[in-house]
A and B are shown apart, each in its own frame.
Chain A
Amino acid sequence: MAEIVTTAVIEAPPRRFAKTLRALLAQPKVVWGGGFILFLIALALLAPFIAPHDPLAQDLMSGTLPPIGFAEHDVHFILGTDDLGRDVLSRLIYGTRVALTVAFVAAILAAVFGTLLGLLAGYYGGVTDTIVSRLIEIWMAFPPVLLSILVVAIMGSGVTSVIAAIAIIDWTRFARVVRAETMAQAQADYVTAARTLGFSRLAILFREILPNVAPVLLALLTLEMGIAVIVEAILSFVGLSVSSDTPTWGGMIAQGRQIIYQAWWVFAAPLAALFATVLAFNQLGDGLRRALDPVMQR
């Protein structure tokens, strides 16, 4: 018996991983939310191989063809074409590249920045907390969309500016939640225990408190990715994101809006993609929080 137990200790890490994976897969939200995101990542990476057409190839002779299943459709254009005869499906597939780049990079940047400030404010309290809290309040007093347009206007359009704009604006979401959670965790006896053991404040902050804030953080991060996708679409819609020769969902929506009475699908397809993506991110976040919380895990 004792030997069995000993072997189990050695094998603990892989078993633990498998257990976590099982807990994740037991959450339907994680499965389909995460599955959809993985599907999008695959689309973005493999776009040149998957897309049936060049997303920029114009064919004025086959403009505004409706999607398959509608009158006068062309089987080569599954989701139809826009007014310049470009394949909507191919543009949609290429559009995932900008959407996902912005979602991941911007959300992670905002999370890193906001979490650091939130941890410091929540744990050190006093003057640090006052400064960070006031900063958050001042920041949140600005209308986010206007602020992002301002940032892009200053930095010039392009993916980098869009990412910067989102990170600069949305760090407050992380800072607020992490600050509150840190304050709650800092009251717990295990933090006192770590203090009496003689760990430095930074060690306590990152080793004891951060792991307990992580489930909330992870949920917030996936939520933020959804928000980042929307903000990117907004900025593309007003023409402040990437140049118009790179297909983006927001750009497609802007373009489709002008011809909505002639070709509604140019407008509807990227909108549906946007909707599904944001929904998937939100569901994934909710599922992850449930699956990874050590107390809820039981």
Chain B
Amino acid sequence: MSAPLLSISHLVAVSRRDGKPLLRDVSLDIARGEVHGLVGESGAGKSTIAKAILGILPHGISISGGSIALEGEDLLTFDAATLRARLGPAVSLIPQDPLTALNPGRRIEAQLTDGLRLWKGMTAKQARERALQLLEEVQMREPARVMRAYPHELSGGMRQRVLIAAAFALEPKLVIADEPTTALDVTVQKQILRLIRTMQERHGTGVVFVTHDLGVVAQICDRATLLYMGKVMEQGSVRDLLDRPRHAYTKALMEACPRYDQPGRGLAPVPEAVFAACRAEIAAFDRAEAGHA
């Protein structure tokens, strides 16, 4: 097996305020061209992992152990300037909320060409042509009109397409999609998921797909990591995870998921006993860590 594209090992993050652990010994590998789902409820640490990879953790969170390696280089050892130079062209983000992720005061053209001019050294004209191409690639209707529009003139789905175009503009090795469909309605969601998958396959990009929706995981991901309170509960290929869940939490989540193929099943609340078991598992882990230290 060749070296993974991204390899996170034994990552520990704590809150600066009270030292509470937010990520507990998280390890995961992402191969080239793999779509990896990060699944979990609010506060499970999905976004924290995404932000840690991008080096944009808020001030309140610090990484206290482990490593994040992109193609074998540990990102955590880089200073800010090196990190920007390495990540800028190689890793990009599809943000959660397309309403705020585009600068309201700048035209789409300016926002799409920024990265191309910064990292690819393109002239304004070359960058504009490439941006037009990208908009066509994300199946935007009337790309020429969109180029000179301001974000408020576009619909939510169109904005998300622009952001996907921007994310793939630099041919990055890794794209981090932070719940890119949560702010969209369901019909648009499906198109956007399909688009991300198409773009990813065409460019051979690795994708970290943050979501709380197991249905989305089933649709788009190759492998997935299920988190609870910052700890990996289960990890593996999506087929295994969904068809043969080993962990009680995964099983309970599957029961809670509405299934159109099996009417009458699903929507079962996660039993309190499962949560209690998860919490006990985490408490045991914390005790072991404390003993270790």
Contacts and interface: CB of A to CB of B under 8 A. Distances in A.
Given A9-B144, A189-B97, A197 B103 contact: no
Interface residues of A, number: 27
B142 to A, nearest CB: 7
Chain A interface helix/strand/loop/mixed: helix
Contact of B148 (A9, A200, A211): A9
Interface in A61-105: none
Contacts of B245: none
Contacts of B104: 190, 212, 294-295
B128 to A, nearest CB: 9
Interface string B137-180: 00000101101101010000000000100100000000000000
B118 A208 contact: no
Given A5-B145, A196-B56, A294 B97 contact: no
Contacts of B84: 198, 200
Contacts of A199: 114, 118
B152 A294 contact: yes
B85 A198 contact: yes
A9 B106 CA distance: 16
A131 interface: no
A189 B88 CA distance: 16
A203 to B, nearest CB: 9
Nearest to A2: B144
Contact of B102 (A16, A190, A211, A297): A190
Nearest to A189: B101
B133 interface: no
A193 B87 contact: no
B9 interface: no
B235 to A, nearest CB: 25
A134 interface: no
B144 A192 contact: no
Contacts, number: 80
Contacts of A194: 103, 114
Contacts of B95: 189, 192-193
A244 B115 CA distance: 59
A211 B105 CA distance: 6
B196 interface: no
B230 interface: no
Interface in B3-56: 54, 56
A5 B166 CA distance: 22
Given A212-B104, A294-B105, A197 B118 contact: yes
B207 interface: no
B87 to A, nearest CB: 6
A196 B147 contact: no
B105 A214 contact: yes
Given A193-B95, A295-B152, A198 B144 contact: no
A18 interface: no
B152 A298 contact: yes
Interface string A210-229: 01101000000000000000
B91 A196 contact: yes
- What 8 A-B pairs come out closest when comparing CB atoms? A198-B88, A189-B101, A211-B105, A198-B84, A190-B103, A5-B144, A189-B100, A212-B105
Interface of B: 54, 56, 84-85, 87-89, 91-93, 95-97, 100-106, 111, 114-115, 118-119, 142, 144-145, 147-148, 150, 152, 163, 166
Interface of A: 5-6, 8-9, 12, 16, 188-190, 192-200, 207-208, 211-212, 214, 294-295, 297-298
